[in-house]
Chain A
Amino acid sequence: MENNKNINRRDFLKRLNAATAAIGGASLVGCGNASTGTTATATKKEKSGGMTYRTTPTTGDKVSLLGYGCLRWFSLRDKETGIIDQEGVNELVDYAIAHGVNYFDTAPVYCDGECERVTGIALNRHPRDKFFIAAKISNLSPEQFSREETLKMYENSFKELNMDYIDYLLLHGVGMGKGIEEFEARFINNGVLDDLIEDRKKGRIRNLGWSFHGDVKVFDHLLKLHDEGKYTWDFAQIQLNYVDWKHAQEEHPRNINADYLYGELEKRGIPAVIMEPLLGGRLANVPDHIALQLKERRPDLSIASWAFRFAGTRPGILSVLSGMPYMEHLKENIETFSPIEPLTQEDMDFLDSTAQQLLRYPTIPCNDCKYCMPCPYGLDIPGILQHFNKCINEGRMPLTSQDPTYREARRAFLIGYDRSVPKLRQADHCTGCNKCTQHCPQNINIPRQMKRIDRFVEDLKQEREFDKTTYIWMR
């Protein structure tokens, strides 16, 4: 029992690290190639321009194009005590600021509620005018919709961050859940948005905006409010990357392509902050043959840097967020953005063809953000999905039961599954209660994916026959 417990926890942490390693943006292909390393250093010397900055139209802030996403400090938790390594965070923040990064994105719900405090401690060691803090109002569950609860959360952010003003305040995840109805319940009906506008006048909030996931009607509605002059937005945060640019809807019909979102913002001169430039790490950790194509085109660039350059090329982009819990990722990303080498149209077309190839891989668009957790029935949802995706990306998935590598792939999948996720937390325990789906920013129909994986596991365990067509239709 004792043994089991340790292994489970270790597995969990290991997986966490693996997942975040991918997200940080280091390319495995790049790392393993010594000659690439040398070229990269050469490029670094060439690039003497320093960090690329974009200016906000409202406050004239010069914001670094690389923004620091603070969601993933949880990777720096001590394995035994669970305490986030503050020293480690300080070191990363110091390096980032020294190299021109000045936009830091937090939220009260990140890192089990510790994100703001930890980030605040690290940032407050620097002059207040050296950085911009982005904070959010994460009143995401119905019991927090009331005016009291929402304002309590808002005020608490100032305390946790230990700052008297917020540079960029976002209404967190508008469009999630029940769409417009939920947006109105969270910010309009309780009068909170009016208070925020007041605070913007007072300068407690320097820029007011929102981060958008989900229902495009809410996006359109917010822009309509802007057009009508009811509420004006200083910036907006959207998901943008070379897959979502034109193909978000192919992943899920409820998703909206990023070219539309960006286009609408650009039309109105609203600067866009970009989240998920790597699609939760999936654009850093691509299937091997796709990695090869990218490497062939530019051997000196990492896989992830393509995605960052895509996200940062357009002029209406204010900042591209990356969660960087490891120094290597931070260094690499700073290099990519110092200064950014914009993509040519030809590059863009190339990335679009890459996106189309990626879509042929039936990975599940999970970004390991853990918004779905905790599952009331104990499932490790991101763990299950990450294992599934990992096997697909590594080309270890038995596509049919007649595959010559079937036996080997079967063993790897099943043993790896037990290693990544304890039996009690595996997909077969999903009750389909559907409490998770509403929290998923990627609109993944989690119960359905759990059933699909469960069925796949059963096929493997029972050695039932299946072929290529069995699983594609369930996407």
Chain B
Amino acid sequence: MLRKLRIGLAAIFYAAITLLFLDFTGTTHKFLGWMAKIQFLPALLATNVAIVIALILLTLLLGRVYCSIICPLGVMQDIIAFFGRKSRKNRYSYSPAKNILRYTVLVLFIVAMVAGVGSAVALLAPYSAYGRIAQNLLSPLWIAGNNVLAYFAERADSYAFYTAPVWIRSIATFSVAAATLVIIAILSWRGGRTYCNTICPVGTFLGILSRFSLLRPTIDTAKCNSCGLCSRNCKASCIDGKSHTIDYSRCVACMDCLENCKKGAISYTYKRTKATAEAEGCDASRRSFLSVATLFAAGTIAKAEEKKINAGLAIIEDKKAPVRETRIVPPGAQSVRNLANRCTACQLCVSVCPNEVLRPSSNLATLMQPEMSYERGYCRPECTKCSEVCPTGAIRLITKEDKSATQIGHAVVIRENCITQTDNVSCDNCARHCPVGAITMTRSNPNDKASRKVPVVNTERCIGCGACENLCPARPLSAIYVEGHVTHRTI
């Protein structure tokens, strides 16, 4: 019964959180957005004290149910492990805790968090690791399916579905997501919750608490016949059937053992027992895992062939991103620093950005954290989606009005690229589309009244939304581009 309850709840959470990453229309976030916000690390980074305390209390009361129900990476491992068990029954066995490894990772993780090494934090944060998998690997399939429906909707003259673009935003992040999935899939197929109990810093931290949880599975030695069935089916490898002990720091309260025991010797009850076996040394060879650092290398992919165009349409060259001295982060992020410190790179903002602006950074220090670029779209005035979904407070909730007055960067004109100079035609597309009227057109040569007008930017007024950069007809490099600001300010 408890097991079924756990599975039911896990299914709900898992489906809902996955949907958050798949739903590019942003409609479900209103109802389900809270599910991202109750994730442990995001709540911690958002200094959402109430949720952090609630999760701690939950663990002290029930054990690591967080890992079994709320954490999507945990549930994903359970799903993979389920199939692993199908292929070979009784495949697990008790193994001692890898304490040196897990506490080292935890300490390093805390150090990285304090020191603001965002990429290390992002790499290990479980919810974010799942987010990256969902965003990079599942979302393209989802959108492709949607596009098939849109194709038929179009033919049926229906507007129920519309086509959304499928594109890889960052090769580095995509590779990390794919590698994470492969590693975790192998680990969980073979050993169940290996990742959660050796690497995951959240798992380790909650493990410290769950040692003292009020309710926990306990073995009734009177009923137990030491068949070892529980050990061989414990995906956390934490039940030592011989000594009738359970390592509660690793138990994720999945309740599987309760139902597996033929003698009904295991029950989920309040019972104080002494803390279980300590570390017996690290068996690194058996539980070795790939150094994640090797995955940092970003591959290059051959640029997609230029579009073939029907006669009558000019070929449009793809835009190239300019070299920006300071990266641009979304309104609500407040500063590059705040985003770097709080973001766990879960990609939720990237998933919902309807303007194809947000993408994960490929810079090593801020790897996978969102940044903005305007080759495919610009930060539209009516949209505050990323700030609505961010669970960690890296992008704080912002209103449209505040956004329109928040300077996240400023535009810089490169006159040599401007088509008024290169093509000798008139153009005021940047000025015309500036939502704050920060661009004015002025004679390129003040002494020559016949000279073409070129844009000049009032940097005090510019908010850095990128409308000018995106809509600039100069290609591949725009004649006007946005340089990010380290600290956002209100104008």
Q: Determine the residue in chain B with the shortest Cβ distance to A2.
A: B304
Answer yes or no: A430 CB below 8 A from chain B CBs.
yes
The residue that A429 contacts in the complex, of B151, B313, B473, with Cβ under 8 A, is: B473
Q: What distance in Å separates the Cβ of A10 from its nearest Cβ neighbour in chain B? A: 9
- Interface positions, chain A 390-428, Cβ under 8 Å from B, are 411-412, 415-416, 418-419, 423-425, 428
Say which one of B32-40, B162-170, B275-283, B409-417 lies at the interface with A: B162-170
Q: What 1/0 flags go to A72-107 for Cβ under 8 Å of B?
A: 001000000010000000000000000000000000
Question: Given the complex of chains A and B, what is the CA–CA distance between A112 and B312 in angstroms?
Answer: 8
Using known A-B contacts A428-B433, A451-B432, determine if residue A3 contacts B166 with beta carbons closer than 8 Å: yes
Using known A-B contacts A428-B471, A429-B429, A433-B423, determine if residue A373 contacts B382 with beta carbons closer than 8 Å: no
Cβ contacts under 8 Å, A4 to chain B:
165-166
Answer yes or no: A244 CB below 8 A from chain B CBs.
no
Answer yes or no: A327 CB below 8 A from chain B CBs.
no
Cβ contacts under 8 Å, A12 to chain B:
310, 313
The residue that A430 contacts in the complex, of B165, B313, B429, with Cβ under 8 A, is: B429
Q: Determine the residue in chain B with the shortest Cβ distance to A10.
A: B151
Cβ contacts under 8 Å, A425 to chain B:
313, 316
Answer yes or no: B380 CB below 8 A from chain A CBs.
yes
Answer yes or no: B426 CB below 8 A from chain A CBs.
yes
Cβ contacts under 8 Å, B310 to chain A:
9, 12-13, 82
Answer yes or no: B307 CB below 8 A from chain A CBs.
yes
The residue that B311 contacts in the complex, of A7, A112, A433, with Cβ under 8 A, is: A112
- Evaluate contact between A415 and B165: CB separation under 8 angstroms: no
Answer yes or no: B234 CB below 8 A from chain A CBs.
no
Count of chain A to chain B residue pairs whose CB atoms are closer than 8 Å in the complex: 87
- Evaluate contact between A431 and B473: CB separation under 8 angstroms: yes
Q: Determine the residue in chain A with the shortest Cβ distance to B147.
A: A3
Say which one of A191-199, A205-213, A375-383 lies at the interface with B: A375-383
- Evaluate contact between A432 and B313: CB separation under 8 angstroms: no
Answer yes or no: B315 CB below 8 A from chain A CBs.
yes
Q: What distance in Å separates the Cβ of A465 from its nearest Cβ neighbour in chain B? A: 13
Q: What distance in Å separates the Cβ of B193 from its nearest Cβ neighbour in chain A? A: 38
Question: Given the complex of chains A and B, what is the CA–CA distance between A4 and B377 in angstroms?
Answer: 16
Question: Given the complex of chains A and B, what is the CA–CA distance between A423 and B423 in angstroms?
Answer: 23
Using known A-B contacts A1-B167, A5-B308, determine if residue A435 contacts B316 with beta carbons closer than 8 Å: no
Answer yes or no: B450 CB below 8 A from chain A CBs.
no
Q: What 1/0 flags go to B126-154 for Cβ under 8 Å of A?
A: 00000000000000000010010001001
Answer yes or no: B419 CB below 8 A from chain A CBs.
yes
- Evaluate contact between B426 and A462: CB separation under 8 angstroms: no
Q: What 1/0 flags go to B424-460 for Cβ under 8 Å of A?
A: 0111110011000000000000000000000000000
Q: Determine the residue in chain B with the shortest Cβ distance to A8.
A: B307
Question: Given the complex of chains A and B, what is the CA–CA distance between A451 and B427 in angstroms?
Answer: 12
Q: Determine the residue in chain B with the shortest Cβ distance to A420.
A: B154
Answer yes or no: A374 CB below 8 A from chain B CBs.
yes
Majority DSSP secondary structure for residues of B touching A: loop
- Evaluate contact between A424 and B316: CB separation under 8 angstroms: yes
Cβ contacts under 8 Å, B316 to chain A:
378, 424-425
Using known A-B contacts A1-B167, A462-B382, determine if residue A374 contacts B314 with beta carbons closer than 8 Å: yes
- Evaluate contact between A415 and B314: CB separation under 8 angstroms: no
Q: Determine the residue in chain A with the shortest Cβ distance to B318.
A: A424
- Evaluate contact between B471 and A429: CB separation under 8 angstroms: yes
- Evaluate contact between A378 and B159: CB separation under 8 angstroms: no
Using known A-B contacts A1-B167, A377-B473, determine if residue A9 contacts B308 with beta carbons closer than 8 Å: yes
Cβ contacts under 8 Å, A5 to chain B:
307-308
Q: Determine the residue in chain B with the shortest Cβ distance to A113.
A: B311
- Evaluate contact between A419 and B154: CB separation under 8 angstroms: yes
Cβ contacts under 8 Å, A3 to chain B:
144, 147, 166
Cβ contacts under 8 Å, B476 to chain A:
none
The residue that B429 contacts in the complex, of A112, A411, A416, A431, with Cβ under 8 A, is: A431
Number of interface residues of A (CB under 8 A): 42
Question: Given the complex of chains A and B, what is the CA–CA distance between A303 and B166 in angstroms?
Answer: 43
Answer yes or no: A246 CB below 8 A from chain B CBs.
no
- Interface positions, chain A 1-54, Cβ under 8 Å from B, are 1-5, 7-9, 12-13
Cβ contacts under 8 Å, B167 to chain A:
1
Question: Given the complex of chains A and B, what is the CA–CA distance between A302 and B162 in angstroms?
Answer: 34
Answer yes or no: A58 CB below 8 A from chain B CBs.
no
Cβ contacts under 8 Å, A370 to chain B:
312
Cβ contacts under 8 Å, A221 to chain B:
none
Answer yes or no: A189 CB below 8 A from chain B CBs.
no
Answer yes or no: B381 CB below 8 A from chain A CBs.
yes
- Evaluate contact between B163 and A418: CB separation under 8 angstroms: yes
- Interface positions, chain A 331-390, Cβ under 8 Å from B, are 370, 373-378, 380
Cβ contacts under 8 Å, B151 to chain A:
7
The residue that B425 contacts in the complex, of A82, A416, A435, with Cβ under 8 A, is: A435
Using known A-B contacts A373-B312, A376-B314, A463-B382, determine if residue A433 contacts B425 with beta carbons closer than 8 Å: yes
Using known A-B contacts A5-B308, A432-B427, determine if residue A415 contacts B144 with beta carbons closer than 8 Å: no
Using known A-B contacts A7-B151, A463-B382, determine if residue A432 contacts B428 with beta carbons closer than 8 Å: yes
Cβ contacts under 8 Å, A430 to chain B:
429
Answer yes or no: A434 CB below 8 A from chain B CBs.
yes
- Interface positions, chain A 429-464, Cβ under 8 Å from B, are 429-435, 451, 461-463
Using known A-B contacts A416-B159, A428-B471, A431-B427, determine if residue A374 contacts B313 with beta carbons closer than 8 Å: yes
Question: Given the complex of chains A and B, what is the CA–CA distance between A373 and B315 in angstroms?
Answer: 12
Q: What distance in Å separates the Cβ of B316 from its nearest Cβ neighbour in chain A? A: 4
The residue that A462 contacts in the complex, of B314, B381, B429, with Cβ under 8 A, is: B381
Cβ contacts under 8 Å, B382 to chain A:
461-463
Pick the most buried of B311, B316, B380: most chain A CB atoms within 10 A of its CB.
B311
Using known A-B contacts A3-B166, A415-B162, determine if residue A378 contacts B315 with beta carbons closer than 8 Å: yes
Q: What distance in Å separates the Cβ of A302 from its nearest Cβ neighbour in chain B? A: 22
Q: What distance in Å separates the Cβ of B362 from its nearest Cβ neighbour in chain A? A: 19
Cβ contacts under 8 Å, B312 to chain A:
112, 370, 373-374
Cβ contacts under 8 Å, A112 to chain B:
311-312
Question: Given the complex of chains A and B, what is the CA–CA distance between A412 and B144 in angstroms?
Answer: 21
Q: What 1/0 flags go to B292-330 for Cβ under 8 Å of A?
A: 000000000000100110111111100000000000000
Cβ contacts under 8 Å, B315 to chain A:
378
Cβ contacts under 8 Å, B473 to chain A:
377, 429, 431
Question: Given the complex of chains A and B, what is the CA–CA distance between A412 and B153 in angstroms?
Answer: 12
Question: Given the complex of chains A and B, what is the CA–CA distance between A112 and B154 in angstroms?
Answer: 29
Q: Determine the residue in chain A with the shortest Cβ distance to B151.
A: A7
Q: Determine the residue in chain B with the shortest Cβ distance to A408.
A: B159
Question: Given the complex of chains A and B, what is the CA–CA distance between A381 and B295 in angstroms?
Answer: 46
Question: Given the complex of chains A and B, what is the CA–CA distance between A380 and B311 in angstroms?
Answer: 11
Question: Given the complex of chains A and B, what is the CA–CA distance between A10 and B169 in angstroms?
Answer: 25
A-B contact pairs, 19 of them (CB 8 A): A3-B144, A7-B151, A8-B307, A9-B308, A112-B312, A370-B312, A375-B314, A378-B314, A380-B313, A411-B159, A419-B154, A428-B433, A431-B426, A431-B428, A432-B426, A433-B423, A435-B425, A461-B380, A462-B381
- Which 5 pairs across A and B sit closest by C-beta, in order of nearness? A433-B425, A431-B427, A378-B316, A373-B312, A1-B304
Given A3-B166, A415-B159, A419-B163, output 5 extra A-B contacts at Cβ < 8 Å: A4-B166, A112-B312, A419-B154, A432-B426, A433-B423
Task: Give the A-binding residues of B (Cβ under 8 A).
Answer: 144, 147, 151, 154, 159, 162-163, 165-167, 304, 307-308, 310-316, 377, 380-382, 419, 423, 425-429, 432-433, 471, 473
